């Protein structure tokens, strides 16, 4: 088995690598020590059914925040992810990112994510599911971007049971059968670029939450600028239609890739 590297930010802005031993016994001891350290630093409200959220995204959820023990699909840029993690981390909860690359940590900090309570596993390889399952015992939010085929239904069900028992939440960047909700960036618009010139300074996002038990999705309009994350009046949703020009669609995709 390849040696895995877990990068955790116990110091603000500093990534400290933790090399996991290839020996299974030693690996378990290292993971147990990491869990104990996080447990000492974290002060979660286990008796509360939801995690605290940023005021801007509270309207997406009937309970005001992502639900403990639940799983959600994410479809959008990193701005959506950071917006969801900002609330929990500011209230002392830990998060773990498994299999996500090209992360903009400065953007995360600007939106209110506490980097001191963030664990990053950049290249989990074929062991991503096992790592995510182990971290679910130690942190409040586990974010995964599956690099390959999803595990069997039985394995996913065991993970869901672990999430409910621990009170952790799973956010999946992509498809996840059996999810409790799907969070989608339906519209993304930037200000600051005029005919190819200028500097991007404000991002407008229309975000929808499609809950499995609700026919009508919940929607919010979020604005991200130098002042941070704040809400605005919900504008009409204008989804890309089949008639949208290739140039416009390509330009939108390029901006999202560059700016997150």
Check residue 150 and give its pLDDT: 94
Q: Count other Cβ atoms within 10 Å, centred on residue 76.
A: 19
Residue 4: pLDDT over 70:
no
What is the topology classification, in CATH, of domain 5-181? Answer: Rossmann fold (3.40.50)
Q: Is residue 113 within 8 Å of residue 86, measured between CB atoms?
A: yes
Q: Look over the chain and give the mean of its residue pLDDT values, rounded to a whole number.
A: 80
pTM to 2 decimals? 0.75
Over the stretch 95-107, which tens digit does the pLDDT of each residue have? 999 998 788 898 8
Q: Please state the domain extents for the chain.
A: 5-181, 184-259
Number of neighbouring beta carbons within 10 Å of residue 137: 17
% of the chain residues with pLDDT over 90:
49
Structure tokens at 131: 């790592």
pLDDT in tens, 204-252: 999 999 998 888 999 999 999 888 898 877 655 555 444 444 444 454 4
Helix (H) or strand (E) holding 34: helix 24-41
Q: How many CB atoms lie within 10 A of CB 129?
A: 20
47-82 confidence digits (pLDDT tens): 679 999 999 999 999 989 999 999 999 999 899 999
């Amino acid at each position: 088995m390849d040696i895995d590297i877990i990068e955790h930010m116990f110091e603000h802005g500093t990534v400290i690598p933790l090399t996991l031993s290839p020996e299974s016994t030693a690996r378990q001891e290292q993971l147990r020590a990491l869990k104990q350290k996080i447990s000492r630093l974290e002060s979660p409200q286990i008796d509360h059914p939801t995690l605290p959220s940023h005021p801007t995204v509270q309207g997406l959820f009937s309970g005001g925040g992502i639900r403990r023990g639940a799983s959600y699909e994410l479809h959008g840029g990193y701005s959506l992810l950071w917006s969801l993690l900002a609330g929990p981390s500011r209230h002392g909860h830990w998060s773990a990112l498994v299999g996500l690359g090209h992360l903009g940590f400065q953007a995360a900090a600007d939106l209110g994510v506490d980097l001191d309570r963030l664990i990053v596993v950049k290249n989990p390889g074929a062991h991503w599911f096992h790592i995510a399952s182990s971290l679910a015992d130690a942190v409040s939010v586990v974010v995964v971007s599956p690099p390959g085929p999803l595990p069997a239904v039985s394995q996913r069900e065991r993970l869901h049971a672990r999430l409910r028992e621990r009170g952790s939440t799973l956010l999946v960047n992509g498809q996840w059968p059996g999810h409790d909700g799907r969070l989608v960036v339906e519209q993304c618009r930037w200000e600051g670029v005029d005919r190819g010139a200028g500097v991007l300074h404000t991002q407008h996002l229309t975000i929808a939450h499609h809950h499995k038990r609700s026919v009508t999705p919940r929607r919010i309009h979020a604005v991200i600028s130098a002042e941070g994350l704040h809400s605005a009046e919900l504008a009409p949703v204008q989804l890309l239609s089949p008639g949208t020009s290739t140039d416009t669609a390509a330009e939108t995709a390029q901006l999202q890739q560059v700016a997150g």
